[in-house]
Amino acid sequence: MSTPDDTFEQAARAAGALRIAGVDEVGRGPLAGPVMAAAVILDPSRIPPGLNDSKQLSHKRRVALAEILQDCAQIGIGSASVEEIDEHNILQASHIAMMRAIEALPERPDYVLIDGNRVPRGLNLPHQTIVKGDTKSVSIAAASIVAKIARDQLMWDLAQQFPGYGWETNAGYPSKRHKQALIDLGVTPHHRRSFKPVHNILYQE
């Protein structure tokens, strides 16, 4: 597994960009909760060591890095609701969250590095898409960490209001416990009705 570096950021700076934002989303696969995205502009002189795809890091390491990033980077966080996911589809909702994260940055970026191979609709800034960008670009890796921590915290909070689904540990993903709770406890307002396991319970004959 490759570890991210600042090759893409250096290339953008060499082309004249000053504020380079990495953008990533988290939460496309869960049955419940919003999809969230983060945009992070790193200070090239203060890049925290150990940045990586959030999925490659322990929870403890993610939390530590997210706290460091709060002090040394510009951060924007955006989300798209379950209603928007059901209305638009998960890909479009992911892009809505990405655009909101970019707009939430304290300063407008000059250049945007986007995880994946699709450009969010309406993005009118110079940009580059990078497949598996969270394993290649430190800015996108930072965004993946920030987005993951923010969404996990939100799902933990929702788990206190809707106990039994295991959201404090599964973050809304379709674990065995979560799927069984859907059958036993029913569908909450935070479930994605367009996702098949939820849809099937709502509209079973």
Average confidence score pLDDT of the chain: 96
pLDDT for position 1:
58
Q: Across residues 113-122, what is the average pLDDT?
A: 95
Domain of 60, in residue numbers: 7-153
Residue 112 domain-assigned? yes
Residue 166 domain-assigned? no
pLDDT for position 204:
72
pLDDT for position 48:
95
Q: Across residues 84-107, what is the average pLDDT?
A: 97
Residue 205 has pLDDT above 50, yes or no: no
| Share above pLDDT 70 across residues of the chain, in percent, rounded to a whole number | 99
Residue 204 domain-assigned? no
Residue 60 has pLDDT above 90, yes or no: yes
Residue 82 domain-assigned? yes
Residue 119 domain-assigned? yes
Q: Across residues 140-162, what is the average pLDDT?
A: 98
How many domains are there within the chain?
Answer: 1
Residue 190 domain-assigned? no
Q: Across residues 117-134, what is the average pLDDT?
A: 96
pLDDT for position 2:
74
DSSP the chain: ----BSHHHHHHHHTT-S-EEEEEEE-SS-SBS-EEEEEEEE-TT-PPTT---GGGS-HHHHHHHHHHHHHHEEEEEEEE-HHHHHHH-HHHHHHHHHHHHHHTSSS--SEEEEESS-PPTT--S-EEEETTGGGTBHHHHHHHHHHHHHHHHHHHHHHHHSTTS-HHHHTT---HHHHHHHHHH---TTB-TTSHHHHHHHT--
Q: Is 87 annotated as a binding residue?
A: no
pLDDT for position 88:
97
Q: Using one digit for the tens of pLDDT, what is the confidence trace for 162-185?
A: 999 999 999 999 999 999 999 999
Q: Using one digit for the tens of pLDDT, what is the confidence trace for 38-48?
A: 999 999 999 99
Residue 109 domain-assigned? yes
pTM for this predicted structure = 0.95
pLDDT for position 84:
98
CATH number at residue 25: 3.30.420.10
Q: Is 152 annotated as a binding residue?
A: no
Q: Is 103 annotated as a binding residue?
A: no
Q: Across residues 44-66, what is the average pLDDT?
A: 94
Residue 133 domain-assigned? yes
